[in-house]
Protein backbone atom coordinates (compact mmCIF):
# COMPACT_ATOMS: atom_id res chain seq x y z
CA UNK A 1 0.00 0.00 0.00
CA UNK A 2 1.29 3.44 -0.95
CA UNK A 3 1.06 5.65 2.12
CA UNK A 4 0.34 9.35 1.85
CA UNK A 5 1.70 11.26 4.84
CA UNK A 6 0.25 14.70 5.60
CA UNK A 7 2.62 16.48 7.97
CA UNK A 8 0.08 19.00 9.31
CA UNK A 9 -2.95 16.70 9.51
CA UNK A 10 -4.98 17.25 12.71
CA UNK A 11 -8.04 15.07 12.05
CA UNK A 12 -8.50 11.35 11.62
CA UNK A 13 -8.45 10.08 8.05
CA UNK A 14 -12.19 9.48 7.90
CA UNK A 15 -12.87 13.01 9.15
CA UNK A 16 -10.41 14.61 6.69
CA UNK A 17 -11.97 15.75 3.41
CA UNK A 18 -9.68 15.83 0.40
CA UNK A 19 -10.78 17.17 -2.96
CA UNK A 20 -8.70 15.66 -5.74
CA UNK A 21 -8.16 17.79 -8.83
CA UNK A 22 -8.94 15.20 -11.49
CA UNK A 23 -7.88 15.77 -15.09
CA UNK A 24 -8.97 12.47 -16.59
CA UNK A 25 -5.40 11.19 -16.59
CA UNK A 26 -3.80 8.26 -14.80
CA UNK A 27 -1.89 10.37 -12.24
CA UNK A 28 -4.89 12.12 -10.69
CA UNK A 29 -6.90 8.90 -10.92
CA UNK A 30 -4.32 7.07 -8.81
CA UNK A 31 -4.24 9.99 -6.35
CA UNK A 32 -7.95 9.52 -5.71
CA UNK A 33 -7.57 5.76 -5.41
CA UNK A 34 -4.74 5.73 -2.86
CA UNK A 35 -6.42 8.40 -0.72
CA UNK A 36 -9.69 6.47 -0.77
CA UNK A 37 -7.83 3.29 0.22
CA UNK A 38 -6.34 5.11 3.23
CA UNK A 39 -9.80 5.99 4.46
CA UNK A 40 -9.95 9.69 3.62
CA UNK A 41 -13.21 11.34 2.61
CA UNK A 42 -12.37 11.82 -1.07
CA UNK A 43 -14.19 13.95 -3.64
CA UNK A 44 -13.21 14.21 -7.29
CA UNK A 45 -13.35 17.62 -8.94
CA UNK A 46 -12.79 18.25 -12.64
CA UNK A 47 -11.65 21.66 -13.78
CA UNK A 48 -12.87 22.88 -17.17
CA UNK A 49 -10.55 25.53 -18.59
CA UNK A 50 -11.19 25.32 -22.32
CA UNK A 51 -14.35 24.83 -24.37
CA UNK A 52 -13.24 24.78 -27.97
CA UNK A 53 -13.55 21.84 -30.32
CA UNK A 54 -10.43 20.61 -32.08
CA UNK A 55 -10.12 20.29 -35.87
CA UNK A 56 -11.97 16.95 -35.67
CA UNK A 57 -14.95 18.50 -33.91
CA UNK A 58 -14.06 16.90 -30.57
CA UNK A 59 -14.26 18.81 -27.30
CA UNK A 60 -11.29 17.55 -25.33
CA UNK A 61 -12.69 18.59 -21.94
CA UNK A 62 -15.81 16.46 -22.49
CA UNK A 63 -13.65 13.40 -23.19
CA UNK A 64 -11.53 14.03 -20.11
CA UNK A 65 -14.55 14.52 -17.87
CA UNK A 66 -16.00 11.22 -19.09
CA UNK A 67 -12.82 9.52 -17.86
CA UNK A 68 -13.12 11.32 -14.51
CA UNK A 69 -16.68 10.06 -14.13
CA UNK A 70 -15.61 6.50 -14.95
CA UNK A 71 -12.84 6.52 -12.33
CA UNK A 72 -14.94 8.16 -9.61
CA UNK A 73 -17.79 5.71 -10.11
CA UNK A 74 -15.31 2.83 -9.94
CA UNK A 75 -13.97 4.22 -6.64
CA UNK A 76 -17.47 5.06 -5.39
CA UNK A 77 -16.64 8.68 -4.63
CA UNK A 78 -18.67 11.81 -5.47
CA UNK A 79 -17.49 14.02 -8.32
CA UNK A 80 -18.13 17.52 -9.61
CA UNK A 81 -17.09 19.76 -12.49
CA UNK A 82 -16.20 23.43 -12.09
CA UNK A 83 -15.95 25.93 -14.92
CA UNK A 84 -12.98 28.30 -14.99
CA UNK A 85 -13.03 29.02 -18.73
CA UNK A 86 -13.33 32.79 -18.24
CA UNK A 87 -10.63 32.89 -15.57
CA UNK A 88 -8.33 30.88 -17.80
CA UNK A 89 -8.83 33.09 -20.83
CA UNK A 90 -8.41 36.30 -18.80
CA UNK A 91 -5.46 35.26 -16.66
CA UNK A 92 -3.56 32.66 -18.72
CA UNK A 93 -4.50 32.61 -22.39
CA UNK A 94 -4.43 36.39 -22.81
CA UNK A 95 -0.89 36.47 -21.42
CA UNK A 96 0.06 33.50 -23.62
CA UNK A 97 -0.96 35.39 -26.77
CA UNK A 98 0.74 38.61 -25.69
CA UNK A 99 4.02 36.81 -25.10
CA UNK A 100 3.92 35.10 -28.49
CA UNK A 101 3.11 38.35 -30.27
CA UNK A 102 6.14 39.91 -28.56
CA UNK A 103 8.37 37.14 -29.96
CA UNK A 104 8.81 35.06 -26.81
CA UNK A 105 7.99 31.42 -26.08
CA UNK A 106 5.72 31.43 -23.03
CA UNK A 107 5.10 28.56 -20.63
CA UNK A 108 1.37 28.58 -19.83
CA UNK A 109 1.64 25.67 -17.37
CA UNK A 110 3.46 27.87 -14.86
CA UNK A 111 0.83 30.59 -15.06
CA UNK A 112 -2.00 28.05 -14.97
CA UNK A 113 -0.66 26.61 -11.73
CA UNK A 114 -0.37 30.07 -10.18
CA UNK A 115 -3.61 31.63 -11.40
CA UNK A 116 -5.94 28.66 -11.77
CA UNK A 117 -5.02 25.39 -10.04
CA UNK A 118 -3.58 26.84 -6.85
CA UNK A 119 -5.66 29.99 -6.75
CA UNK A 120 -9.28 29.83 -7.94
CA UNK A 121 -9.38 26.02 -7.93
CA UNK A 122 -7.82 25.75 -4.46
CA UNK A 123 -10.12 28.49 -3.17
CA UNK A 124 -13.14 26.63 -4.55
CA UNK A 125 -12.04 23.40 -2.84
CA UNK A 126 -11.68 25.18 0.51
CA UNK A 127 -15.03 26.93 0.05
CA UNK A 128 -16.62 23.52 -0.40
CA UNK A 129 -15.25 22.44 2.96
CA UNK A 130 -12.15 20.50 1.92
CA UNK A 131 -9.25 20.26 4.31
CA UNK A 132 -6.85 19.71 1.43
CA UNK A 133 -6.60 19.87 -2.33
CA UNK A 134 -4.68 16.95 -3.85
CA UNK A 135 -3.17 16.96 -7.33
CA UNK A 136 -1.22 14.48 -9.41
CA UNK A 137 1.91 16.61 -9.68
CA UNK A 138 5.24 14.85 -9.29
CA UNK A 139 6.55 16.84 -6.35
CA UNK A 140 6.33 16.79 -2.54
CA UNK A 141 5.91 19.12 0.39
CA UNK A 142 7.32 18.73 3.86
CA UNK A 143 7.91 20.91 6.91
CA UNK A 144 11.62 21.73 7.19
CA UNK A 145 12.91 24.28 9.64
CA UNK A 146 9.37 25.19 10.65
CA UNK A 147 8.24 25.98 7.09
CA UNK A 148 6.29 23.94 4.58
CA UNK A 149 8.72 23.44 1.72
CA UNK A 150 8.21 22.47 -1.91
CA UNK A 151 10.43 19.45 -2.64
CA UNK A 152 11.33 17.63 -5.81
CA UNK A 153 9.46 14.47 -6.70
CA UNK A 154 11.35 11.21 -6.23
CA UNK A 155 11.13 10.35 -9.94
CA UNK A 156 13.84 12.61 -11.45
CA UNK A 157 12.43 12.18 -14.93
CA UNK A 158 8.99 13.41 -13.87
CA UNK A 159 9.68 16.06 -11.22
CA UNK A 160 7.36 19.05 -11.83
CA UNK A 161 8.59 21.61 -9.31
CA UNK A 162 9.83 23.69 -12.26
CA UNK A 163 6.18 24.43 -13.09
CA UNK A 164 5.26 25.07 -9.45
CA UNK A 165 7.91 27.56 -8.33
CA UNK A 166 5.30 30.31 -7.89
CA UNK A 167 3.65 28.34 -5.07
CA UNK A 168 3.66 30.05 -1.67
CA UNK A 169 4.30 28.19 1.56
CA UNK A 170 0.92 29.31 2.97
CA UNK A 171 -0.88 27.48 0.17
CA UNK A 172 1.22 24.37 0.68
CA UNK A 173 -0.47 24.00 4.08
CA UNK A 174 -3.67 23.01 2.25
CA UNK A 175 -2.16 21.08 -0.66
CA UNK A 176 -0.90 17.51 -0.92
CA UNK A 177 0.80 15.59 -3.71
CA UNK A 178 -0.09 11.91 -3.11
CA UNK A 179 2.13 10.40 -5.82
CA UNK A 180 5.13 12.74 -5.58
CA UNK A 181 7.15 10.21 -3.61
CA UNK A 182 6.80 7.32 -6.08
CA UNK A 183 8.07 6.73 -9.64
CA UNK A 184 5.74 6.88 -12.64
CA UNK A 185 6.22 3.16 -13.23
CA UNK A 186 4.65 2.46 -9.84
CA UNK A 187 1.76 4.78 -10.62
CA UNK A 188 0.96 2.61 -13.63
CA UNK A 189 1.13 -0.51 -11.46
CA UNK A 190 -1.27 1.06 -8.96
CA UNK A 191 -3.67 1.99 -11.76
CA UNK A 192 -3.67 -1.68 -12.78
CA UNK A 193 -4.17 -2.76 -9.17
CA UNK A 194 -7.22 -0.54 -8.77
CA UNK A 195 -8.39 -1.48 -12.29
CA UNK A 196 -8.94 2.14 -13.25
CA UNK A 197 -10.21 2.92 -16.74
CA UNK A 198 -7.26 5.30 -17.22
CA UNK A 199 -4.63 2.64 -16.48
CA UNK A 200 -3.41 2.48 -20.09
CA UNK A 201 -4.08 6.09 -21.00
CA UNK A 202 -1.10 7.89 -22.49
CA UNK A 203 0.38 10.90 -20.74
CA UNK A 204 -0.87 14.17 -22.18
CA UNK A 205 1.55 16.17 -24.29
CA UNK A 206 1.57 19.53 -26.03
CA UNK A 207 0.17 22.82 -24.80
CA UNK A 208 -1.99 22.19 -21.75
CA UNK A 209 -5.23 23.71 -23.03
CA UNK A 210 -5.21 22.68 -26.70
CA UNK A 211 -3.94 19.12 -26.48
CA UNK A 212 -2.24 17.43 -29.40
CA UNK A 213 -3.11 19.42 -32.49
CA UNK A 214 -1.39 21.57 -35.11
CA UNK A 215 -0.02 24.42 -33.04
CA UNK A 216 0.61 26.82 -35.92
CA UNK A 217 -2.96 26.44 -37.17
CA UNK A 218 -4.30 26.99 -33.67
CA UNK A 219 -2.22 30.10 -32.99
CA UNK A 220 -3.08 31.65 -36.37
CA UNK A 221 -6.72 31.82 -35.25
CA UNK A 222 -5.82 34.33 -32.56
CA UNK A 223 -2.84 36.40 -33.64
CA UNK A 224 -1.48 37.62 -36.95
CA UNK A 225 2.02 36.30 -37.51
CA UNK A 226 3.95 37.46 -40.56
CA UNK A 227 6.52 35.43 -42.50
CA UNK A 228 10.05 36.76 -42.58
CA UNK A 229 13.68 35.89 -43.23
CA UNK A 230 16.26 33.63 -41.66
CA UNK A 231 19.58 35.45 -41.41
CA UNK A 232 23.02 34.54 -40.13
CA UNK A 233 24.87 36.67 -37.58
CA UNK A 234 26.62 38.31 -40.54
CA UNK A 235 23.29 39.33 -42.04
CA UNK A 236 23.24 36.78 -44.86
CA UNK A 237 19.71 35.68 -45.76
CA UNK A 238 19.54 31.88 -45.86
CA UNK A 239 15.81 31.23 -46.11
CA UNK A 240 12.25 32.18 -45.22
CA UNK A 241 10.45 31.53 -41.93
CA UNK A 242 6.72 31.28 -41.31
CA UNK A 243 6.67 33.70 -38.37
CA UNK A 244 9.26 34.51 -35.72
CA UNK A 245 6.85 33.62 -32.93
CA UNK A 246 7.08 29.96 -33.89
CA UNK A 247 10.80 29.67 -33.14
CA UNK A 248 12.79 29.60 -29.93
CA UNK A 249 16.47 29.87 -29.08
CA UNK A 250 18.34 26.61 -29.64
CA UNK A 251 15.68 25.16 -31.94
CA UNK A 252 16.78 22.82 -34.73
CA UNK A 253 13.66 21.01 -35.91
CA UNK A 254 11.15 22.62 -38.21
CA UNK A 255 13.41 25.29 -39.68
CA UNK A 256 13.25 23.95 -43.21
CA UNK A 257 16.86 24.89 -43.86
CA UNK A 258 19.13 22.38 -45.54
CA UNK A 259 22.29 22.37 -47.60
CA UNK A 260 25.70 20.84 -46.95
CA UNK A 261 27.29 21.25 -43.56
CA UNK A 262 26.15 21.04 -39.94
CA UNK A 263 22.46 21.53 -39.10
CA UNK A 264 21.08 25.03 -38.54
CA UNK A 265 20.04 26.25 -35.10
CA UNK A 266 18.20 29.36 -33.94
CA UNK A 267 20.69 31.57 -32.08
CA UNK A 268 18.61 34.75 -31.75
CA UNK A 269 15.71 36.89 -32.90
CA UNK A 270 15.36 40.44 -34.12
CA UNK A 271 11.67 40.97 -33.49
CA UNK A 272 11.72 44.58 -34.71
CA UNK A 273 12.73 43.35 -38.18
CA UNK A 274 10.85 40.03 -37.88
CA UNK A 275 14.13 38.18 -38.45
CA UNK A 276 15.16 34.83 -36.97
CA UNK A 277 18.94 34.52 -36.63
CA UNK A 278 20.46 31.12 -37.32
CA UNK A 279 23.90 29.53 -37.41
CA UNK A 280 25.23 26.06 -38.14
CA UNK A 281 26.17 23.66 -35.34
CA UNK A 282 24.65 22.80 -31.98
CA UNK A 283 27.82 24.02 -30.26
CA UNK A 284 27.98 27.40 -31.96
CA UNK A 285 29.40 29.95 -29.47
CA UNK A 286 26.40 32.24 -29.99
CA UNK A 287 24.33 29.68 -28.08
CA UNK A 288 26.36 29.75 -24.85
CA UNK A 289 26.15 32.18 -21.92
CA UNK A 290 27.83 32.43 -18.53
CA UNK A 291 25.34 34.71 -16.76
CA UNK A 292 21.83 36.07 -16.86
CA UNK A 293 19.46 38.45 -15.12
CA UNK A 294 15.88 37.65 -14.11
CA UNK A 295 12.94 39.57 -12.67
CA UNK A 296 9.37 38.83 -11.54
CA UNK A 297 10.96 36.91 -8.66
CA UNK A 298 8.76 34.47 -6.76
CA UNK A 299 10.00 32.70 -3.61
CA UNK A 300 8.11 29.78 -2.09
CA UNK A 301 9.09 30.65 1.48
CA UNK A 302 10.66 33.54 3.35
CA UNK A 303 13.62 34.00 1.03
CA UNK A 304 13.65 37.80 0.96
CA UNK A 305 16.78 37.94 3.11
CA UNK A 306 18.85 35.34 1.27
CA UNK A 307 22.53 35.42 2.23
CA UNK A 308 24.27 36.63 -0.92
CA UNK A 309 26.18 35.46 -2.78
CA UNK A 310 24.20 32.21 -2.60
CA UNK A 311 25.53 29.03 -4.18
CA UNK A 312 22.68 26.80 -5.30
CA UNK A 313 21.44 24.88 -8.32
CA UNK A 314 19.11 26.03 -11.07
CA UNK A 315 17.50 25.01 -14.31
CA UNK A 316 16.49 27.31 -17.16
CA UNK A 317 14.14 24.80 -18.81
CA UNK A 318 12.04 21.91 -17.59
CA UNK A 319 13.99 18.95 -18.99
CA UNK A 320 17.39 20.35 -18.04
CA UNK A 321 19.49 18.83 -15.29
CA UNK A 322 20.37 20.98 -12.28
CA UNK A 323 23.16 23.46 -12.94
CA UNK A 324 25.57 24.83 -10.34
CA UNK A 325 25.21 28.57 -10.06
CA UNK A 326 25.56 31.57 -7.76
CA UNK A 327 22.94 34.24 -7.16
CA UNK A 328 25.33 37.16 -6.78
CA UNK A 329 22.92 40.06 -6.32
CA UNK A 330 19.25 40.96 -5.94
CA UNK A 331 18.57 44.61 -6.66
CA UNK A 332 15.44 46.53 -7.65
CA UNK A 333 13.48 43.33 -8.22
CA UNK A 334 16.11 41.76 -10.47
CA UNK A 335 18.55 39.00 -9.60
CA UNK A 336 21.90 38.24 -11.22
CA UNK A 337 23.04 34.66 -11.72
CA UNK A 338 26.47 33.34 -12.67
CA UNK A 339 26.88 29.72 -13.77
CA UNK A 340 29.74 27.36 -13.06
CA UNK A 341 29.42 26.05 -16.62
CA UNK A 342 28.18 27.91 -19.69
CA UNK A 343 24.46 27.53 -20.36
CA UNK A 344 23.16 26.69 -23.81
CA UNK A 345 20.21 28.52 -25.38
CA UNK A 346 19.17 31.01 -22.71
CA UNK A 347 15.67 32.12 -23.77
CA UNK A 348 14.22 35.40 -22.58
CA UNK A 349 10.90 35.19 -20.68
CA UNK A 350 11.52 31.56 -19.78
CA UNK A 351 11.77 30.75 -16.08
CA UNK A 352 14.89 30.04 -14.08
CA UNK A 353 14.11 27.92 -11.01
CA UNK A 354 16.41 27.52 -8.00
CA UNK A 355 17.09 24.54 -5.74
CA UNK A 356 19.06 23.98 -2.55
CA UNK A 357 19.69 21.04 -0.24
CA UNK A 358 17.87 21.21 3.11
CA UNK A 359 18.11 18.28 5.51
CA UNK A 360 18.84 15.95 2.61
CA UNK A 361 15.88 17.12 0.54
CA UNK A 362 16.03 18.93 -2.82
CA UNK A 363 14.03 22.04 -1.95
CA UNK A 364 12.67 24.40 -4.58
CA UNK A 365 13.40 27.94 -3.40
CA UNK A 366 11.42 29.65 -6.16
CA UNK A 367 12.33 31.26 -9.43
CA UNK A 368 12.13 34.23 -11.76
CA UNK A 369 11.62 35.20 -15.41
CA UNK A 370 14.77 35.56 -17.48
CA UNK A 371 14.96 39.21 -18.58
CA UNK A 372 18.49 39.47 -19.97
CA UNK A 373 21.34 37.18 -20.93
CA UNK A 374 24.99 38.11 -20.61
CA UNK A 375 27.23 38.26 -23.63
CA UNK A 376 27.33 35.03 -25.59
CA UNK A 377 30.65 33.30 -26.14
CA UNK A 378 30.43 34.53 -29.73
CA UNK A 379 30.08 38.16 -28.58
CA UNK A 380 32.92 37.70 -26.14
CA UNK A 381 35.14 36.40 -28.94
CA UNK A 382 34.49 39.62 -30.88
CA UNK A 383 35.71 41.66 -27.93
CA UNK A 384 39.12 39.99 -27.97
Rounded CA-CA distance 256/275 in Å is 15
Which residues are marked as active site?
112, 208
CB neighbourhood size of 95 (10 A): 14
Beta bridge partners of 79: 44
Show the CA angle centred on residue 108, arms to residues 311 and 274, nearest 5°.
95
* Pairing of β 310-315 and β 264-270: unpaired
How many angstroms separate the CA atoms of 284 and 226, rounded?
27
DSSP 244: G
| Cα gap 134→378, rounded to integer Å | 47
Q: At what angle do helices 26-37 and 60-75 cross, to 10 degrees?
A: 20
Count CB-CB contacts under 10 A for residue 349: 16
SS3 180: coil
How many Å apart are CA 199 and CA 313, to the nearest integer?
A: 35
Q: Classify strands 175-176 and 228-231 as parallel, antiparallel or unpaired.
A: unpaired
* Structural contact between residues 198 and 25, judged by C-beta atoms closer than 8 angstroms: yes
Quick one: which of 66, 186, 164, 60 has its CA closest to 111? Answer: 164
**Residues β-bridged to residue 342:** none
**Are 366 and 354 a contacting pair, CB within 8 Å?**
yes
Of the candidates 157, 186, 166, the one whose C-alpha atom is nearest the C-alpha of residue 33 is 186
CA 7 to chain centre: 25
Cα–Cα distance, 281 to 262 (Å, whole number): 5
Amino acid sequence: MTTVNISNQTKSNEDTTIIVGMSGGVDSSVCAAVLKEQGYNVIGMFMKNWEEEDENGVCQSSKEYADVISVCEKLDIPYYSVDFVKEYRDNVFKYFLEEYEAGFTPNPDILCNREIKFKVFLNKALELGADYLATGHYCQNKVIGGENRLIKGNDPGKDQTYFLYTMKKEKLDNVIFPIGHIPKSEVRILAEKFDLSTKHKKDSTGICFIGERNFKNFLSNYIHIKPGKFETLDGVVVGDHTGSAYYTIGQRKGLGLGGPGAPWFVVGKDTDRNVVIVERGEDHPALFFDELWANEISWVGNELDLPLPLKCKAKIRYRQGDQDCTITEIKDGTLHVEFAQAQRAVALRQSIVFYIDMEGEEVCLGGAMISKAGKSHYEKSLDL
